[in-house]
Amino acid sequence: MSKRYLITSALPYANGALHLGHLAGAYLPADIYVRYLRLLGKDVVWVCGSDEHGAAITIRAKKEGISPQKIIDKYHELAKSTFERLGISFDYYHRTSAPLHHETSQDFFLKLYKKGGELEEREIGQYYDPEYDQFLADRFIVGTCPKCGHEEAYGDQCENCGSDLSPLELINPRSTLSGKAPQLKSTKHWYFKLDKHEAWLREWIATGTVDGEQQHDPKTWKRHVVGQCLSWLDGGLQPRSITRDLDWGIPVPLPEAKGKVLYVWFDAPIGYISSTRKWAEENGKDWELYWKDKDTTLIHFIGKDNIVFHCIVFPAMLKAYGEFNLPKNVPANQFLNFEGQKFSKSRGWGIEQHEYLEEFKDFPNKEDALRYALIRNMPENKDADFKWDEFTDFHDKELADNLGNFVNRVIVLTNKYYDGVVPATSQGLRAALAPVREIARKITGELDAFSFRSAVLALMELSSWGNTYLQDVSPWKLYKEDPDSQAVKDCMFISLQVVALLSLLAEPFIPFTAPKIRKLLNLPELQNGSLQEALDKLEAGQPLLPSGHKAGEPELLFAKIVDRKDDSRLQIVNRQKEKLQKVLETEKGEEREPIKPTIQYEDFAKLDLRTGAITAAESIPKADKLLKLTVSLGSEQRTVVAGIAKYFKPEELPGQPVVLVANLAPRKLRGIESQGMILMAENEKGELAFVSPKQGWGNGFIVR
């Protein structure tokens, strides 16, 4: 058993709001786990914070004409307050723009620099804007794409053709700052020699062993995590650049590195360390115990997009530095979809966390309703899907009907029969509560294994057991015959113990409801160690709620969404469903790309369009999207390479009539000369359709 725990959740990038998928991925599971550890009385710190550097933020600032600071302030505040309102109980939410973080990161860099063997310097050619006296990050350079001729391609990628580019490949490069041609200058950068860490990383991932010491059991890691890491390692590791020529970020702490900052991926994970330091500073603790002591367990909660980073790159950094612990587990979640499709801000598909709170502001228990739905359908081992109908079902059938109703039954009966006072019992508690202890063990076991879906289902088993127990004993029947029946007292006594246990075990999952149950029982607020204490009592056969204790008045915990008497909550949910419906309608409606600028007839007349028919089609090796087609134009045959393999199989194409751009300059694609282009229509889903005359119409005729 570990003495203390250090838990981290992925630092949100302060360049946009967070949606429900983020919550279900890295924050909610960590919150459940941390709340559970606290209830067990463990020494635990959970840190997070905003990731506020990187070129994406400076570019956006430029575009919007505001300072980067303004952007990060906005999203830092938004994330921080939204997390709080959802009960995400970080011990510290820091930010990477803070001075302490700059200091921590610079120290980290210097340590690696001075140690020797971990970093290497390289001179590379890079574009420079003399007018702004600045080296240009890839995204700050535009030019003509060497592959497709698109004139606004970025230095790292062409958005027209999707090619990955380097700035040096661009034809006629221009700086986005001054708009002028940049100078090519030589600049120095530092690289982290990730490659030299490959061997021990592989052993660590595969066996959990480092330097002959067993650090974790790889069987406790998720399969997709281990799989992706080993796959990445098999591909071989390369030194990674850890500096940039940029004025936004953490200055590289070397005299010769003026105008250079640490690359954002290098400083971001160090944010976990600074956040811990800041927390320690404010709470009179020693941060190093949490990072370096052998009796501390480190756990990273992340989404699957971050696996390689947290399982390979960051551990390598920590080991290179020395002294630091490696993570004991990285329980990465997969992605959450929304009503069958990916979250997409631009399409308006999905809902952001603060948006949910706003739209559900009149919905009682909105926080726990959301948390519960996300836990029940958490993407623990594969992508999951959030659906409003499920949200409603989980809330009504499990929270209200199962858990809420059980608690209500018990409180109502206790008030009705005994004026709210816990009756005396003759029952042997140990035996009577044996099945309950079993379920409690199951819940804690699942939590220990990061299986939050199963854990919350097991929590439902607890109230389910209570419902069944009440039904079996049917105290209302016995009471009619004998109001003084000992069997009724025993039954209510046992039931009350179960409710008391629920008030503890429910807290990690639904922290807004648990205190309400405490209040119904007239029990004091939960504190660190409460659960451990209760579990010990149960084990010893002692009651959690002694005879003579006066419980509170009944009050409903959950107002159902589908409710005959009040449809206000259903309306809130339905509004969300309607919004999605509208998105779909808009997309399949009249919205189309704008018409291009007017051209003259002469422009059109330059095109030589001809009817034709495909006579042969074959796939091209090592190209997923391309097919090699042979097109008959009547008098001649043309070879055409077309990017249609996603939608058409070679064998179904021969005989297909087409219209061909017959005078397009030939071009080599994957070594095959393409002598023309086939006209295709593309709809909003990216589906392709041939534009052509009907079958057998005739080949080689002019289209105009």
Q: Which residues 600-619 are close enough to bind RNA by CB under 7 A?
A: 619
**Cα dist. 295→273, 290, 376 in Å?**
17, 9, 33
Q: How far apart are CA 624 and CA 621, in angstroms?
A: 8
Question: Hey, what are 682's tokens?
Answer: 């593309």
Strands 171-175 and 153-154, sheet pairing:
unpaired
Taking the least distance from each CB to RNA, the nearer of 131 and 383 is 383
* 8 A C-beta contact, residue 208 and residue 215: yes
419: left (phi over 0), alpha (psi -120 to 50) or beta: left
Smallest gap, in angstroms, from Cβ of residue 315 to RNA? 18
Question: Hey, what are 605's tokens?
Answer: 């007349």
Smallest gap, in angstroms, from Cβ of residue 569 to RNA? 10
Smallest gap, in angstroms, from Cβ of residue 650 to RNA? 11
Strands 183-192 and 240-241, sheet pairing:
antiparallel
The owner of tokens 């009651």 is 543
Size of the site for RNA (CB under 7 A): 74
Q: Is 515 in the site for RNA (CB under 7 A)?
A: no
State which H helix or E strand residue 530 sits in. Answer: helix 530-540
Smallest gap, in angstroms, from Cβ of residue 25 to RNA? 13
Smallest gap, in angstroms, from Cβ of residue 243 to RNA? 20
Strand partners for 19: 352
Of 17, 24, 3, 5, the residue nearest 378 (C-alpha) = 24
Tell me, residue by residue from 128 to 147, as one string, x for binding to RNA by CB under 7 A and - for no binding.
-------------------x
Q: Is 10 in the site for RNA (CB under 7 A)?
A: no
Question: Hey, what are 142's tokens?
Answer: 């535009």
Residue 439's φ and ψ, nearest 5 degrees, are -65, -40
Q: Is 233 in the site for RNA (CB under 7 A)?
A: no
State which H helix or E strand residue 385 sits in. Answer: strand 384-386
**CA 54-185-135 angle, 5° bins:** 25
Smallest gap, in angstroms, from Cβ of residue 557 to RNA? 4
Q: How far apart are CA 663 and CA 703, in angstroms?
A: 13
Q: Is 163 in the site for RNA (CB under 7 A)?
A: yes
Q: Is 577 in the site for RNA (CB under 7 A)?
A: no
Tell me, residue by residue from 81 to 120, as one string, x for binding to RNA by CB under 7 A and - for no binding.
----------------------------------------
Smallest gap, in angstroms, from Cβ of residue 253 to RNA? 29
Which parts of 404-463 interact with RNA (CB under 7 A)? 404-405, 408-409, 412-413, 416, 453-454, 457, 460
Question: Hey, what are 628's tokens?
Answer: 């090699």
Q: Is 161 in the site for RNA (CB under 7 A)?
A: yes
Segment lying near RNA (by CB under 7 A), choices 160-168, 254-262, 486-494, 583-591? 160-168
Q: Is 483 in the site for RNA (CB under 7 A)?
A: no
Q: What is the largest CA-CA distance in the chain?
A: 105
Can you point out the beta strands (E) in 157-271? 171-175, 183-192, 209-210, 213-214, 240-241, 243-245, 260-262
Q: Is 622 in the site for RNA (CB under 7 A)?
A: yes
Which parts of 626-685 interact with RNA (CB under 7 A)? 626, 643, 667, 669-670
- Within 8 A by CB and 6+ apart from 567, the residues are none
Smallest gap, in angstroms, from Cβ of residue 698 to RNA? 28
Q: Is 343 in the site for RNA (CB under 7 A)?
A: no
Smallest gap, in angstroms, from Cβ of residue 515 to RNA? 15
Taking the least distance from each CB to RNA, the nearer of 250 and 491 is 491
Options 129, 245, 398, 490; binder of RNA; rule CB under 7 A = 398
Options 624, 635, 685, 695; binder of RNA; rule CB under 7 A = 624
Which parts of 241-300 interact with RNA (CB under 7 A)? none
Options 6, 57, 237, 470; binder of RNA; rule CB under 7 A = 470
Smallest gap, in angstroms, from Cβ of residue 461 to RNA? 8
Cβ-based burial of 703 (10 A; exposed 0-12, middle 13-18, buried ≥19): middle
Amino acid type, 320? A
Q: How far apart are CA 538 and CA 497, in angstroms?
A: 9
Amino acid type, 270? I
Taking the least distance from each CB to RNA, the nearer of 101 and 516 is 516
Smallest gap, in angstroms, from Cβ of residue 14 to RNA? 21
Options 125, 130, 149, 162; binder of RNA; rule CB under 7 A = 162
Q: Is 525 in the site for RNA (CB under 7 A)?
A: no
* 8 A C-beta contact, residue 669 and residue 573: no
Tell me, residue by residue from 540 to 569, as one string, x for binding to RNA by CB under 7 A and - for no binding.
----------------xxxxx-xxx-----
305-310 contact pairs (CB < 8 A, 24+): 306/10, 306/332, 307/224, 307/225, 307/228, 307/229, 307/332, 308/228, 308/229, 308/232, 309/265, 309/269, 310/269
Taking the least distance from each CB to RNA, the nearer of 389 and 585 is 389
Q: Is 382 in the site for RNA (CB under 7 A)?
A: yes
Segment lying near RNA (by CB under 7 A), choices 38-46, 224-232, 323-331, 627-635? 224-232
Smallest gap, in angstroms, from Cβ of residue 155 to RNA? 16
Smallest gap, in angstroms, from Cβ of residue 446 to RNA? 9
Of 237, 252, 250, the residue nearest 113 (C-alpha) = 252
Grouping H, G, I as helix, E, B as strand and the rest as coil, residue 279 is: helix
Which parts of 31-70 interact with RNA (CB under 7 A)? none
Q: Is 224 in the site for RNA (CB under 7 A)?
A: yes
Q: Is 572 in the site for RNA (CB under 7 A)?
A: no
**CA 586-591-596 angle, 5° bins:** 165
Options 70, 115, 345, 397; binder of RNA; rule CB under 7 A = 397
Options 27, 290, 335, 388; binder of RNA; rule CB under 7 A = 335
Q: Is 575 in the site for RNA (CB under 7 A)?
A: no
